[in-house]
Structure 1
Amino acid sequence: MQPTGKYRWKIVALLFFATTINYIDRQILGVLAPLLQENMNWSESAYGWIVAGFQAAYAIGLLVSGALLDRFGVKWGYTIAVAIWSLACMLHAAAGTLFLFVIMRFLLGLGESANFPAAVKTVATWFPKKERALATGIFNSGSNIAAIITPLAIPWIALQAGWQWAFIISGMLGILWLICWRKWYHAPQDHPKISEAERDWIEQDGPEPMDKLPWKQLVLRRQTLGFAVSLFLTAPVWWFFLYWLPKFLHSEHQLSITGMAWPLVIVYLISDAGALAGGWFSSRMVSKGAIPVTARIYTILLLSLLVIPVMIVPFIQQLGWVIALIALATFAHQGYASNIFTLVSDIFPKNATGAVTGIAMFSGAIGGMIFSSITGLVLERTGDYTPIFIFCGCAYLLSWAILAVMVRPRYRRHLQIADQN
């Protein structure tokens, strides 16, 4: 079959913008951290607990959002999630105390937890296997676009109108997205805007088991545990760069909140390329005849090796080299993420992708919560970033080793047979 129709790529565009808004909302805290920390007199450990509070809510939401999305569908699931996180983002403007700020971060985390399970499930619904990694890379690149927009726009808004307006304007973007989502999204089998030829292209992999897989059974599967442990190790690294990189540049390289804009833009522009390159590379291997799971695992190994040099960042004084090594690590992380999320849809049937993604990301959020708390304590007591960067450099190779053992190329066929029995 030849690729037919283009409407599925419009769906990916919606997922891309949702992910972009999602990350703008959460990254405002990191970009404004030096300003907020000074205005509200937060200690390093207090800031660590604020970040951990968001991640705790994110973890709770992930534990249930995937299963709810599998049950009620992505159209309504996405609608409720975006409404919650957009309102929570705007309500940050009314948070005048540390306690209220933590509450708003908690609500933000609950709403934002549904984004990736919903997006992964949507890609599995709208794309055949050979296109899923690229589609995942496209929507996942929204996180990097947000990381470029945020340091450029948010400090300007905060300095011109006050930090409260940064949260209000960002939350309003989510409301605008909701209007488009409700108008344009339908499942492919009954969408009025796609042709039969494109529908056939989407469904070329054939029917999948429709029996509901029990949540308990999914949790205990070796492959689900492999994904969970992998994200437990690597998600904290991305959280660290998202929330502590601006503080690192401020404290270790004396950059102001406006002066750090372009270094952050460079880092996340390069990481955006990683999301696309990682998805393209494994999809290219699949189109050449490789088993999908094998292609993803091989790609993850190559990307894991690119993260290792970030361990020497604390020993480098030249800002250019610091930015280059961090950018290389984030490039690899985003390519890694594109392939991890695609692995879920390679292995599990569509009616389980939301739940499995939620379980794995729950584990990642727990890892991020623990790592954020430890990071805050380490910096408050020692002020030394060295052990943190060493962990970041080692986490991905260890993650790859776990995936290589716990995820098998032929498992999808075995899963289908087990489900039919």
Structure 2
Amino acid sequence: MAQNTETKATNFRWSICVLLFFATTINYLDRQVLSLTWKDYLQPEFHWDNNDYGNITALFSIFYAGSMLLAGKFIDWMDTKKGFLWAIFIWSIGAVLHAFCGIATSGLLTGRWFVGFAEAKEAIATVNNVSLVISTSVTLFIFARLVLAIGEAGNFPAAIKTTAEYFPKKDRAFATSIFNAGATVGALAAPVSIPFIAKALGWEMAFIIIGALGFVWMGFWIFYYKKPHVHKKVNASELAYIQQDKDDEADSLNLEGGDNGKKFTLKECFKYRQTWAFAFGKFMTDGVWWFYLFWTPAYLSSVYGMDSTQSALPLFVLYIITLLAIIGGWLPRYFVDKLGLDPYAGRMRAMLIFAFFPLLALLAQPGGNYSYWIPVIIIGVAGAAHQAWSANIFSTVGDMFPKKAIATVTGIGGMAGGIGSFLINKSSGALFDFSHKNWTTIDGVPLLEKYPKFNTERIPEDFVNQLKASGAIVSDGISTGYMIIFSVCAVAYLVAWGVMKALVPTYKVIKD
């Protein structure tokens, strides 16, 4: 075993945490390209409406949910290094595939396959059957999202498993909050990079350039990652610090790197209340974050008339605010070290505090009547609260389950979160189109009463803007649709916390 014997502990574990941070950053960049290009580029090219986009994002969520269930087991089976490499390879392929959906649509509808991106656009524009363009393009983007979801599902199970390997229990929430901040940084970098790449080089190149980042990360992971007990950069003192909980944990790694004891099957994991508590917490709250991630650019466009470059600054400020989530890792550590609480009690107390901040979302839409900065700031605070909550709910798995079960249980929770995300994205798209059509008034007259043809036809995207330009007084019903979803997001965390606490009231470690 190649261990350094220096007295002073090394800190190589934080280098591994940095790699996890960048993997999560790339993960969120890849999933954000669609939300930042669909309104300005994909919608006019493929004639999508909110429901079409909602279907794509909702199905991504359900693909992600199913994949998370299998990804956790896959990571436990393949182990961390190989499992993570496969995950990021697959999702990077999926990210790049989006760029070729236009060419594929052109090929299927016009027979023109071997063309460039510009020629594909021209070919699609000649197709008279708009419904066929919509259905074909949506199907192709759904397939690309499927590949992306299968790969991205491996990120958090692998990252949580790595954190359990490299950090003692008291530090895991802090380490998780650091790598989980990659989600915020990815979301932060997206609006100040993707719209400008799309504007300069085309929306296709935005998918290709961002998707290629994953292949770069793979090289670093191959070079840097090994188990801590065999890593040359981890000395004996650091290893002792990492393994300080081994007498309390259900399975410590033996010196040869293998796992002691039996494996945990999916069926066995579902026997424990701890699994159901984690899964319910993810089901109730993951969809909130994904709603903010996928729909905030559309919200700024639909309600405030911003294009993707105009919304870059508000989105940048929004995600800067979410960096406050780093407190999510520090607060439970304070409760454990200073107040003497056990890890689970400290985490649950911190999560209860974080669960109150999303209630501010109830004021987002009313505040938007005064300035769009009010909902931007409120969504930023709610996003920070979510990320702080997320860092701790992930860490509850490492607190109570043996290392060999962590990725599997994380996958189960990810599946539940994906189902919740499917429901909110699907319902949001349908609600926004419904409210836009049925609750919009023009000079005090309902839109459908004034223009009954829209009972059976889609409303053109710029129709309402043209009415406003003509001097009509328009009250767009889509604002009410957003208010409804914001209200759901506001109360989700308190409901989740209450059920989790009822299922697992006190700290209990699951043994082999």
TM-score, normalised on structure 2? 0.79
In 1, Cα distance between the equivalents of 2:265 and 2:308?
48
Alignment of 1:167 onto 2:207: yes
Shift in Å, 1:214: 2.6
Give the distance between the partners of 2:277 and 2:149, measured in 1 at CA.
24
Amino acid in the other structure paired with 2:500: L
Partner of 2:468: none
Aligned partner of 1:138 among 168, 178, 181: 178
Match of 1:158?
Answer: 198
Whole-angstrom distance in 1 between the partners of 2:323 and 2:201? 30
Structure 2 residue 363 is the aligned partner of structure 1 residue 312: yes
Q: Is the 8 A contact 1:88 1:105 kept in 2?
A: yes
Q: How far apart in 2 are the matches of 1:118 and 1:77?
A: 7
Check conservation: 1:86, 1:172, Cα contact below 8 A.
yes
- State the SS of the aligned residue for 1:411: coil
Structure 1: runs of 5 or more not aligned: none
Deviates more, 1:231-240 or 1:205-214: 205-214
Deviations 1:167-197 (A, max 9, x none): 1111111000001101110011111221111
Give the Cα separation in 1 of the matches to 2:224 and 2:65: 30
Q: Deviations over 1:352-397 (max 9, x none)?
A: 1101110011000011111111111111111221211110001011
Check 1:216–1:126 CA distance in 2 against 1; reply closer, same or farther (3 A cut): same
Higher alpha-carbon deviation: 265-274 or 167-176: 265-274
Question: What is residue 243 of structure 1 aligned with on the other side?
Answer: 294
> Partner amino acid for 1:199?
L
Give the match's secondary structure for 1:206: coil
Q: Is the 8 A contact 2:60 2:149 kept in 1?
A: yes
Residue number in structure 2 paired with 1:393: 490
Query: Residue 387 of structure 2 aligns to which amino acid in structure 1?
Result: Q
Match of 1:405 in 2: 502
What does residue range 217-256 of structure 1 map to in structure 2 within 5 Å?
217-256=268-307
Q: When the two structures are aligned, how many residues end up with a matched partner?
A: 413
**Percent identity among equivalent residues?**
38
TM-superposed CA distance for 1:98, in Å, is 2.3
Amino acid at match of 1:65: A
User: What is the aligned partner in structure 1 of residue 443 from structure 2?
Assistant: none
Shift of 1:331: 1.0
Aligned partner of 1:106 in structure 2 is 146
From 164, 167, 180, give the equivalent of 1:127.
Answer: 167
CA shift for structure 1 position 406: 1.4
Q: Is 1:352 equivalent to 2:402 in the alignment?
A: no
Where do residues 195-234 of structure 1 align in structure 2 (5 Å cutoff)? 195-207=235-247, 208-209=250-251, 210-211=260-261, 212-234=263-285
State the one-letter code of the partner of 2:321: I
Q: Distance in 2 between matches of 1:179 and 1:238?
A: 30
Query: Which of 198, 213, 226 is equivalent to 1:186?
Result: 226
TM-score normalised to the size of structure 1? 0.96
**Which residue identity does 2:13 align to in structure 1?**
R
| Alignment check: 8 A CA contact 2:9 2:236 kept | no
What SS class does the counterpart of residue 59 from structure 1 fall into? helix
> Does 2:63 correspond to 1:57?
yes
Which residue in 2 is equivalent to 1:69? Answer: 75
Secondary structure in 2 matching 1:200: helix
How far off its partner does 1:407 sit? Answer: 2.0
The Cα shift of 1:226 comes to 1.0
- Equivalent of 1:302 in 338, 353, 366: 353
Q: Distance in 2 between matches of 1:363 and 1:272?
A: 25
Whether the 8 Å contact between 2:168 and 2:245 is mirrored in structure 1 is yes
1:290 alignment partner in structure 2: 341
Distance in 1 between residues matched to 2:60 and 2:279, nearest whole Å = 19
In structure 1, how many angstroms separate the alpha carbons of the residues matched to 2:49 and 2:318?
Answer: 27
Aligned with 1:13 (options 15, 18, 27): 18
In the aligned structure 1, how far is the partner of 2:21 from the partner of 2:14?
10
Kept in 2: contact 1:311–1:393 (CA 8 A): yes
Shift of 1:14: 0.4
CA deviations 1:328-371 (Å, max 9, x no partner) are: 11110010001000111011111111011100110000111111
Do 2:321 and 2:377's aligned partners in 1 also have CA atoms closer than 8 Å? Answer: no
State the structure with more CA Rg.
Answer: 2
Residues 10 and 233, structure 2, Cα contact 8 Å, conserved in 1: no
The answer (yes or no) to whether the contact 1:128–1:202 under 8 Å persists in 2 is yes
Shift of the 154–3 alpha-carbon distance from structure 1 to 2, 3 Å rule, reads farther
